[in-house]
Amino acid sequence: MEETWDREVICEICRVQLSRAAIAKSLTGLDLSVLEQPKRLININLAVRMDNGKVRFFPAYRVLYNDARGPGKGGIRFHPNVHMEEIKELAFLMALKCACTDIPFGGAKGGVKVDPKKHSEHEMERISRAYIREFAHFIGPDTDIPAPDVNTNSTTMAWMLNEYEKIVGHSAPAVITGKPLELGGSQGRDYSTSLGGAIVLREYLAKKKSGLKKASIAVQGFGNVGMHMARILFEWGAKIVAVSDSSTGIFDSGGINVKKAIEHKATGKSFETFPKGKKISNEELLELKVDVLIPAAVEDQVNDSNKDNIQAKTILEMANGPVTPTADDLLDRKGVEIIPDILANSGGVMVSYFEWVQNRNGKYWEEKEVNAMLEEKMVKAFNEVHALKEEEKINYRKAAYVLAIKRILKAEELRGNLSKPSK
């Protein structure tokens, strides 16, 4: 009898992406069903007392997608639009990201449906601690290792670490990454995602026989990733012609002084009041005619509504899933090269891995050592994806997916978890 999976369990976007990757000849005949559904899904309503004494409930999630290559790894996001399908997709991408860059982790993700802008710091701390109390038995240094994500940071991780250690009764710094340095965090972690992406872009442009200094670059999003991305590329001599925050963008064909843009934002002001450059919307930024577009905000920014208007030659995905599958197909046919998120923004999880290793060994590296190791690993990962792209005559996304999937399936095969081929 043919086996069927519960449609509530299967990650539909994951299934679609697996089907796309399966076109590559090296995946033909392999059993991909093991990756169509997560290993574990948990949905808990957190009961949290507010500052006014009333108790409110917040839907909370944790998905362990695959752990064939090692403990689950993935951030915890706080956002009013968090839902299970999103968390499943992000956990799937984390599994691929760790495999693509050859980190010995699986993929996981977590989230709480909450708007941090509507709550005090004390309420957010209670929500953070409640999350760990409910999920403590499903995470651990050898099981599933959380980290920061959207609207969470090192302070959030400090609260969560403290709560976890109260529960287990001993020090356990390796249970969470992205912590403050004083609690076992790693040097360089704050900007590691951006540095990893900048290294990938540098290597890509070198393969194209051009260079950073010749490229016009637009960066959508000026949070931690986008801001550091623009800063690093600017310091390396690149011409950043456009940047944007959540409300406004600025464009200057001659190049933006990113240092001054950062100083402006540090005062709490929007780009609306930035003294130089033409004011543009986020939508207009995405449609600029530039050499490199870097979506570094949230998912689904390049989609059916604007895919026909994208003029960038290359897209470097620094957000998770910023290009929808249908937009991806069209842009691929138009010759736009897209460097996928599972490669481009993997610097963060790479340094999270370094942090976990340091916590386990009790030996901590200096910032320059961390950055040197990050560069070595990112260059190696890019070269492996590029080599597979050239060998199989496929695009970068398919090459990254195929490389990651083959590594995960090999681990599943060695564990005896794959179906044997029919005779």
The answer to whether 322 and 344 have CB atoms below 8 angstroms apart is no
CB-based contacts of 266, cutoff 8 Å, min separation 6: none
Cα distance between residue 389 and residue 98, in whole Å: 19
User: Cβ–Cβ contacts within 10 Å for residue 387, how many?
Assistant: 12
DSSP 8-state class, residue 384? H
Residue among 109, 116, 126 nearest 63 (CA): 109
**Side-chain-facing half-sphere of 393: CA atoms under 13 Å:** 1
What is the amino acid identity at position 214? K
- Break the chain down into helix, strand, coil percent, rounded to 5: 50, 15, 35
Q: What are phi and psi of 147, to 5 degrees?
A: -160, 175
Q: Are strands 55-66 and 107-113 parallel, antiparallel or unpaired?
A: antiparallel
CA distances from 91 to 145, 240, 323, 333 (A): 12, 32, 17, 28
Give first-to-last CA distance, the chain, whole Å: 16
Q: What are phi and psi of 168, to 5 degrees?
A: -85, -20
| Catalytic, out of 88, 97, 109, 389 | 109
* Token pair listed for 322: 């910023």
Beta-strand runs (E) in 265-406:
278-280, 292-295, 314-316, 337-339
CB-based contacts of 221, cutoff 8 Å, min separation 6: 244, 245, 246, 295, 296, 297, 298, 318, 319
Q: What is the dihedral of CA 181, 184, 188, 193, to 10 degrees?
A: -120
The answer to whether 175 and 164 have CB atoms below 8 angstroms apart is yes
**Active-site annotation holds for 109:** yes
The answer to whether 394 and 402 have CB atoms below 8 angstroms apart is yes
Cα distance between residue 297 and residue 284, in whole Å: 15
Q: Which residues are catalytic?
A: 109
